[in-house]
Amino acid sequence: MNMHKYEKIWIYIGSATLLFFLMVVGVSAFYMGNKPPSCAVTLDPENVRNHELFKEPGLKQIGDNEYQLTIVASAFDYDVGSDDKVVQIPKGATVHISSTTTDVIHGFEIAGTNVNMMLEPGYISTLTNTFKNEGTYTLVCNEYCGIGHHLMHATIEVVE
Amino acid sequence: MNKALDRLQVQDAKLVMAHLYVAFIALFVGATAGLLQTLERSGKFTLPAGIGYYQILTIHGVVLGLVLTTFFILGFMLASQSRTTGGFNKTERTISWIAFITMVVGTLMAATMILLNEASVLFTFYAPLQAHVLFYIGLALVIVGTWLDGFVMFKRHARFKKENPGEKTPLLSFMAVVTMLMWQIASLGVAITVVFQMIPWALGWVDTIDVLLSRTLFWYFGHPLVYFWLLPAYMMWYAIMPKIIGGKIFSDSLARFTFILLLFFSIPVGFHHQLTEPGIDPFWKFIQVILTMIVVIPSMMTAFSMFATFEARGRELGAKGVFGWIKKMPWKDVRFLAPFIGMLFFIPGGAGGIINASNQMNQVVHNTIWVTGHFHLTVATTVILTFFGITYWLVPSLTGRKFTKTMNKWGIVQTILWTVGMTIMSTAMHWQGLLGGPRRSAYSEYAGNADTLAWGPYQIAQAIGGSILFLGMIVMLIIFVNLAFFAPKGEQAFPIAETANPNEKPPKVFENWPLWIGITLALILFAYTIPLIDIIQSAPPGAKGFKLW
C-alpha cells in the first residue's frame, strides 16, 4: 500500500501524541494513585441497613484530621445521618467516603469537586477526598433513578 | 465502476425511501421532545397535560439515538451498495423488506410502551429500573431487523466479488460491510442482556438481575453504537464528498485501512463509560482506555484525507498557499456546506471525547451535562449535518426529482440555524457540566445553595439554543417533504467519487474477512474475558426490579 509522505508524517505525529497522552494518564493512575473509584466490595442490596458500615450513616472522626463519611442513597434521598441533610466537614480534612444504594442505580456527585461516582445495587462505592476550600457544596444525583431524580440532594459545608 | 448505476432501480429506491420516511418522522418526534426538554429545564415552563419530563427524555433518546439513526444509516448504506454494485436481486430485496418491517414493528412496540408511561427508563434502560416487557421485546426486534439488513449487505458484497473476479470491490460497499460487521458483533452484547437477562426478569420468570453484568454488556454495545452513527458519515466524507467538490478520493487503500482500524478499536472499549463504577478493576479500565484512545489514529487519518482532498481540488482550481483552497470550495452548495460544518464540529467533539475517556478527567465530567453537550456535537451535529447533506441529493435521486436552487437556499438556512442553535446549546451544556450540573435531570433548585442556582442561566441558554434547533428541524422537514413529493421531476445525480489514481489496486488482504473478524474477536476477548469472569464470579446478590416513575 503506497502512502503519501505527508500522510506518514501525520500518522507519526498522531501516534507520538497518543503515546505521550497514554503515558500521562497511566503515570497519573498507577504511579500517583489517581485511579478511578473502584473496589469491588459487595453487600446484599436488600439488607443494606444491617451492614456494619451503613447502620448509622453520617460523618465520624476516625483519626487525626481523618473522617469516615457514610451515606445511604435510595429513591429519592441521601441519608447523611441528619434530618436537615447537611454535613459539616472541617476544611483540609481527609474524608473517606463510602456509599451504596438500597434500590436502583444512583449517582453521587459533589458539584464543584472531583467527588463523582456511581452507586450500584450490591456494591459499596468508596472514594477519598480532601476538601481544600471552604464553602457550601451540593451533593446531587447524576444518574437517572426515577421521577424524583432531580430532587435528590444533600449539602456539604466545608468549614474552618 | 462499469457495473454502477446512475440511479437506483425503482424497487431498490422504494426500499430506501421507506427507511427514510421512518427516519424523518423520528426526527420530528424526537426534536420536538428535545425542544420541550430545554424549555422545561429553563424553569419558566411546565410540561402540559401531565407529561413527565423523563417520559419525553426517553422518547428523545430512543427516537433520535436509536430510530432516526438506524433507519437513516441502513437506508443510506443500502442505497450506496445498490448504486455501486448494480442493485439487489429479488431475494436480497425481500430479506431487506422483512428486516424493515421487523424494525418498524419493534419500534412501534417500544414507542407504545413509552407513550403509555410503561417504559420511562431512558434509551440506556439501566436495570434495575424495570420497563414493560414489550419495550424490551420491541428493542430486540429492532436489533434482529438490523442483523437481517447486515446479512443482505454481506451477501451483496460477496456476490459482487463472485461476479466480477479480479476487480476491486466498490469502496462504499466495502465500507458498508465493515460498518455492519462492527454493528453485528457489537449488538450481540445488548441482545444478550435484553433477551437473557431483561426479558425473563420483566416477565417475572426470574426475580433478580445482575446489574453490573447487564451494564457491562450494554456498554460493550454502547460505544460501538456511536461508531455505527459515525462510520456512515465517514463513508460520505471519503467516497462522496470529493465528487461534490469536483475532486478525487485521496487514496482508496487508506480509506479501507481506516475502516479496518475502526472495526478493531471500536468494540473492546466499553469500560470508558464505566470508569466511575464500583466492581471493575482499575487495571482493566485502563487497558480499555488505551484501546479507546487508539481511535485517534484512524480519526487523524480521516482528517488528513479530507483536507488533502480539499487542498488538492483547491490547487487544481488555481489556489495558492496553504489556505488558498478555502476560497475555492463551493460554499453556496449545501451538499458541501452541511457536511463540511459537520467536520469542523468534529474537532471540538473529538477533543471532548478524549477528555471523557481519560481515567482522571472523566471523574470531573462523568454524568454531568458536559457529556450531553459532547454528543450533541458529535452525533447531533457532525453526523446529523452529514446525513442532512446526504438527504439533499439522495432523496431526489430516489424519487426522480430535482434538488432546486430554492431548496438549496433553504438548505443553507437550515445549516445556519443548526450551527447557531447547537453552538449555543452545546457550549452552555459543556460549561454547566464543568460546574457540576448533572445530565438527565428535570428543572430543580436542589437545596437552594449558590452552586446549583448558578446553573440557571446556562439552562436558559440551552432553551434558546434548543428553540433555534427546533426551527432548523422544521426547515429540514419542509425540504424533505419537498424532495419526496413536490420538487420538479428530473434527474438528480447520486454522486460517487473516483480515486485520484485510477490504477490504484487496494491490497488483496483487505478482502480477507476471516482475518479481520479474527483480530476483532481476539481484541474483544483480550479486553473482556478476565473482567467478565470477575464480574460474574464476585457478583453480589441480584437486584429486584423497580418502577419509580
**What's the mean pLDDT when you consider all of chain B?**
95
B223 is catalytic: yes
Pick left, alpha or beta for residue B225 (phi over 0 → left; psi -120 to 50 → alpha; otherwise beta): alpha
The whole-angstrom separation of Cα B285 and Cα B274 is 8
Instruction: Give B129 to chain A, closest Cα distance, Å.
Output: 6
Contacts of B316 (CB under 8 A, 6+ apart): B247
pLDDT at B2: 41
The whole-angstrom separation of Cα B387 and Cα B391 is 6
pLDDT at B359: 85
Interface test mutation site (partner B, options A84, A116, A117, A133, max chain B beta carbons within 10 A): A116
Q: Taking 50 as the threshold, does the pLDDT of residue B1 lie above it?
A: no
pLDDT at B4: 54
pLDDT at B486: 97
Instruction: Give A84 to chain B, closest Cα distance, Å.
Output: 10
**What's the mean pLDDT when you consider all of chain A?**
92
List the grid coordinates of B476.
429540514
ipTM, 2 decimals? 0.94
Q: Do the chains contact at A6 and B304, CB–CB below 8 Å? A: yes
pLDDT band at A32 (very low <50, low <70, confident <90, very high): confident
Residue B381, classified by CB atoms within 10 Å of its CB into exposed (0-12), middle (13-18) or buried (19+), is: buried
Q: Do the chains contact at B435 and A40, CB–CB below 8 Å? A: no
| pLDDT tens figures, B84-140 | 999 999 999 999 999 999 999 999 999 999 999 999 999 999 999 999 999 999 999
List the grid coordinates of A81.
445521618
pLDDT at A28: 87
Q: Are A100 and A72 in contact (CB under 8 A)?
A: yes
Q: Taking 90 as the threshold, does the pLDDT of residue A56 lie above it?
A: yes
| pLDDT tens figures, B187-219 | 999 999 999 999 999 999 999 999 999 999 999
pLDDT at A1: 66
B439 is catalytic: yes
Q: Taking 50 as the threshold, does the pLDDT of residue B443 lie above it?
A: yes
Please give the residue of chain A at the shortest CA–CA distance from B215.
Answer: A120
